[in-house]
Structure 1
Amino acid sequence: MEEDFAVRYGPRLRAELAELRAASEGALEARRPVELDQQSVGRLSRMDALQGQAMAQAVDVRRAARQRVVEAALSRLESGEFGWCEACGEHIGVKRLDLDPTLVRCVGCAR
């Protein structure tokens, strides 16, 4: 069963992790500190830039959290613990894992 999980979910998880890392790298410029040069930028433009920076940082926090979840799923996949409910120890349904292979609880325990 673990080999099936590795074949079925491994590529998907690795692809998502690569996308998350690439997106984080691509958004570096948006998260950089805003220069507060009064001569080159007006007050409203600075406010817009600060708001854009704050939004980019918030997105990056969510992206980093998802990256940790995906990395944990890959770790479970490698250790043979993937697909088992962390609460009751039963199998997590394949249909549930197909929706999100990072899930750690079966339907019953997730309620």
Structure 2
Amino acid sequence: MDKEAYAALLKRFRPRLEQELAEIDRLSMENESWSAPVELDQQSVGRVSRMDAMQMQAMSQAVQRRRTQRRHQLLQAFKRMNEGEFGYCAECGEEIPSGRLDVDPTFSACVRCAT
């Protein structure tokens, strides 16, 4: 891929990655209150309410783990962009088809190497 084509590829995918990263960061900030420890005082919160709160806390923590993993994938894609490796398979070095990157711009392997 020549420099002009690579610049066009970055121009196409960088805003999408930046937007997703900003959204993940925003949601993570909002999520902090749901991940807080659950009150143990059963006088102020009934047993069922406390169990519901614990379940919500566990679900919130699971969502946050997935967000953290996705954030890492996005940061790795930015790193590949900065190093001039974005859009190339990390395994075989071939170009990753733009259709595959349309599905998920964080993919670092072509279909052949990903399977």
TM-score range, shorter chain: over 0.9
RMSD across aligned positions (CA): 0.8
1:105 corresponding residue in structure 2:
109
Q: Aligned residues, how many?
A: 111
In structure 2, stretches of 5+ residues that fail to align are none
- Distance in 2 (alpha carbons) for counterparts of 1:71 and 1:82: 12
Q: What letter matches 1:94 in structure 2?
A: S
TM (norm. structure 2) is 0.93
2:10 corresponding residue in structure 1:
6
- Distance in 1 (alpha carbons) for counterparts of 2:111 and 2:52: 43
- Distance in 2 (alpha carbons) for counterparts of 1:47 and 1:67: 30
- Which structure has more relative contact order (CA 8 Å, sep 6+)? It is 1
The answer to whether the aligner puts 1:91 opposite 2:109 as a matched pair is no
Alignment of 1:1-111 (within 5 A): 1-111=5-115
Offset from partner CA, 1:12-57 (integer Å, 9 cap, x none): 0000000000010011110000011121111111111001000000
Offset from partner CA, 1:55-81 (integer Å, 9 cap, x none): 000000000000000010011111111
**Contact 1:2 1:77 (C-alpha < 8 Å) held by counterparts:** no
- Distance in 2 (alpha carbons) for counterparts of 1:26 and 1:5: 32
Identity of aligned residues (%): 50
What's the secondary structure of 1:87's corresponding residue? Answer: coil
TM (norm. structure 1) is 0.96
- Distance in 1 (alpha carbons) for counterparts of 2:78 and 2:96: 16
- Distance in 1 (alpha carbons) for counterparts of 2:114 and 2:44: 53
- Distance in 1 (alpha carbons) for counterparts of 2:28 and 2:114: 30
